[in-house]
Amino acid sequence: MHRLASSVALTAALLVISGCSTGGTPSDAPAGSTPSPRSSPTGTPAEEAAEDATEESSQEAGEAPAREQEPVAPADFEPATAVRVVRHLAGVIGPREATGRAYARAADWVQGELEGLGYDVARQGFDVPAGESWGVPVPAGRSVNVVATPVGFDPSRPHLVVGAHLDTVPRAPGAEDNASGVGVLLAVAEAVAQRRTRLPVVLVAFGAEEPRGPGDDEHHYGSRRYAAEMGPRERTAMRAMVSLDRVGVGATVPVGSATASDPVQRALLAAARSAGVRAVAVAEQRSSDHWSFVRAGLPAARLGSTSYAAYHSAADVPAVVRPDQLARVGRVVLAWLAPR
């Protein structure tokens, strides 16, 4: 299997403390923090049975497990891949404002990595207005989502979406916010490229997540565009979306819901339990790309958001990110994607 990861050994005790969007986020939890609640993957036996029935009927209608490989498992996640991505994006490229040249370099690089794993990759361009991003004026321009799909993917058939924003605020190298999310995204892409998942998986690096002013309408431009361009059949076929945003610090995995509780959040908490990862539910969490999908009436949740001192600053460098936390999040995602 092609591997993104280099032979770089995982090193170092890296700094802990972290954050992307603020509000409703737990601090770095001690070893004795409350584990994730026990629940069925979709929250209730009826919901779980309905989901399983949907998957079975899809397969009977000709929607195979897309590949005849071994099923993916949490242990298939390679933390070294995620670490390499963080080091390249935040250490080599640096700040990636959504309309700038550095962002374009980052999008090219991510596209190349995904194509190297055998995915079909498309770009979804969109306009972004001028504004102010975390105290720094930013120009109007174009940004892009990088969208990877398995070969032969049919968006009108049941599928899942995993995304992470690729841009940063202008003054931050963005190791935790959000090279960590993109690192986990690419390591997940690597794991599922040659293994079977319960449904086909679309992988998206979103542009222009960071704010250009106050409020929802000046935030999350790339994911809003993606959700707006989904046709009726694709909307019905998308079973759930997960946003990976600030997933590289802490000792537990925050699982955020835009509402008090929802089936996607419960499914992720159950996946964390099955993977042996400590997770904590966060309600009313709307500060990432999953919110664009929820606003559009689509099921979505978020992984990540532990507070950290280097948030949106020049100090958000690769040393902030913890490989062990990247591994926890990656195992949760793969447990969620794994066939039952």
Q: What digits encode the pLDDT tens for the residues 53-99?
A: 345 434 433 344 444 689 999 999 999 999 999 999 999 999 999 99
Compute the CA torsion angle 89, 91, 92, 96 (nearest 10 deg).
50
Give exposure, 287-298, as e/b (b: 16+ Cβ within 10 Å).
bbbbbbbbbeeb
CA distance 325 to 251: 6
* Radius of gyration for the chain, computed over Cα atoms and rounded to the nearest angstrom: 18
How confident is the model at residue 240, as a pLDDT? 98
Q: Looking up tokens 């998986």, which residue turns up?
A: 201
Mutual angle of helices 180-193 and 79-86, in 10-degree steps: 140
CA distance 150 to 165: 20
- For the chain, the first-to-last Cα distance in angstroms comes to 23
How confident is the model at residue 148, as a pLDDT? 98
Which of 124, 161, 146, 112 lies closest to 264, judged by CA? 161
How confident is the model at residue 216, as a pLDDT? 82
Q: Got the DSSP string for 92-106? A: II----TTSHHHHHH
Decide: 101 and 139 in contact? Cβ < 8 Å.
Answer: no
How confident is the model at residue 13, as a pLDDT? 35
Per-residue pLDDT of the chain in tens (340 residues, 90 and over written 9): 433 334 333 333 333 333 344 333 343 333 333 333 333 334 443 344 345 434 543 443 334 444 468 999 999 999 999 999 999 999 999 999 999 999 999 999 999 999 999 999 999 999 999 999 999 999 999 999 999 999 999 999 999 999 999 999 999 999 999 999 999 999 999 999 999 999 999 999 999 999 999 988 899 999 999 999 999 999 999 999 999 999 999 999 999 999 887 999 999 999 999 999 999 999 999 999 999 999 999 999 999 999 999 999 999 999 999 999 999 999 999 999 999 8
Residue 238, classed as helix, strand or coil, is strand
CA distance 329 to 18: 15
284-298 tens-digit pLDDT: 999 999 999 999 999
Count Cα atoms within 13 angstroms, Cβ side, for 206: 31
Size of the chain in residues = 340
Give exposure, 1-22, as e/b (b: 16+ Cβ within 10 Å).
eebbbeeeeeeeebbbbbbbbe
How confident is the model at residue 37, as a pLDDT? 32
* Domains of the chain with bracketed CATH: 45-337 (3.40.630.10)
How confident is the model at residue 318, as a pLDDT? 98
DSSP bridge partners of 71:
196
How confident is the model at residue 39, as a pLDDT? 34
Decide: 245 and 18 in contact? Cβ < 8 Å.
Answer: no
